[in-house]
Chain A
Amino acid sequence: MIDERTEEQASLYALGLLSEQEAREFERELRESEELRGFVAQLKRSADLLATSAPSVEPPPHLKQKLLDQIEQRMKIVPLKKAETLFAPAWFPWAMAACLAVLCAIFFSENKSARQRSARLRDELQELQKQTISLRGETDILQNQVAEFRSKDRLSQLRIAMLSSLLASSPKAVAVSVWDNEQQKGVLVVEHLASLPSDKDYQLWVIDSKYPSPVDAGVFTVDEKGAVRFQFQPKSRVNFEKIAVTLERKGGVAKPEGKMVLLGS
Chain B
Amino acid sequence: MNEESAKLDVELLGQIAQGDRVAFSRCYDRYSGILFSIVVKVLNDPKEAEDVLQEVFLQIWDKAGIYKRELGVPFSWFVTLTRNKAIDRLRSSQRRFRLLEELKEETAVLTNAGSTFMTDPENRESSVMVRSAVRSLPSDQRQAIELAFFGGLTQNEISESLGQPLGTVKARIRRGMLKLRDALEDHL
Query: Distance in Å from the Cβ of A20 to the closest Cβ of chain B?
Result: 12
Known interface pairs A49-B187, A51-B38. Does A43 touch B76 (Cβ–Cβ under 8 Å)? no
Q: Are A7 and B37 in contact (CB under 8 A)?
A: no
Q: Are B177 and A46 in contact (CB under 8 A)?
A: yes
Max count, chain A CB within 10 A of own CB: residue among B41, B76, B149: B149
A40-61 residues at the B interface, CB under 8 angstroms = 41-60
Is A199 part of the contact surface with B, judged by Cβ < 8 Å? no
Known interface pairs A17-B155, A17-B173, A71-B61. Does A55 touch B41 (Cβ–Cβ under 8 Å)? yes
Q: Which residues of A contact B57 (CB under 8 A)?
A: 67
Query: Distance in Å from the Cβ of B162 to the closest Cβ of chain A?
Result: 14
Q: Which residues of A contact B127 (CB under 8 A)?
A: 52
Bitwise, A217-238 to B at CB < 8 A (1) or not (0) is: 0000000000000000000000
Q: Which residues of A contact B54 (CB under 8 A)?
A: 63, 66-67, 70
The one of B24, B29, B41, B46 in contact with A54, judged by C-beta atoms closer than 8 angstroms, is B41
The one of A16, A41, A54, A66 in contact with B40, judged by C-beta atoms closer than 8 angstroms, is A54
Is B33 part of the contact surface with A, judged by Cβ < 8 Å? yes
Q: Which residues of A contact B181 (CB under 8 A)?
A: 42-43, 46
Query: Distance in Å from the Cβ of A122 to the closest Cβ of chain B?
Result: 46
Is A12 part of the contact surface with B, judged by Cβ < 8 Å? yes
Known interface pairs A17-B148, A74-B61. Does A52 touch B24 (Cβ–Cβ under 8 Å)? no
B38-93 residues at the A interface, CB under 8 angstroms = 38, 40-41, 46, 49-50, 53-54, 57-58, 61-62, 72-73, 75-76, 79-80, 82-83
Q: Which residues of A contact B37 (CB under 8 A)?
A: 51, 54-57
Query: Distance in Å from the Cβ of A207 to the closest Cβ of chain B?
Result: 99
Q: Are B38 and A45 in contact (CB under 8 A)?
A: no
Is A86 part of the contact surface with B, judged by Cβ < 8 Å? no
Residue of B whose beta carbon sits closest to that of A64: B28
Q: Which residues of A contact B21 (CB under 8 A)?
A: 68, 71-72, 75
Query: Distance in Å from the Cβ of B169 to the closest Cβ of chain A?
Result: 9
B76-133 residues at the A interface, CB under 8 angstroms = 76, 79-80, 82-83, 110-111, 113-117, 126-127, 130-131
Residues of B within 8 A of A (CB): 1, 19, 21, 24-25, 28-29, 32-38, 40-41, 46, 49-50, 53-54, 57-58, 61-62, 72-73, 75-76, 79-80, 82-83, 110-111, 113-117, 126-127, 130-131, 134, 145-146, 148-150, 154-155, 158, 170-171, 173-174, 176-178, 180-181, 184, 187-188
Sample of 9 A–B contacts (CB below 8 Å): A8-B171, A14-B177, A17-B155, A49-B184, A51-B34, A53-B134, A54-B34, A57-B33, A60-B50
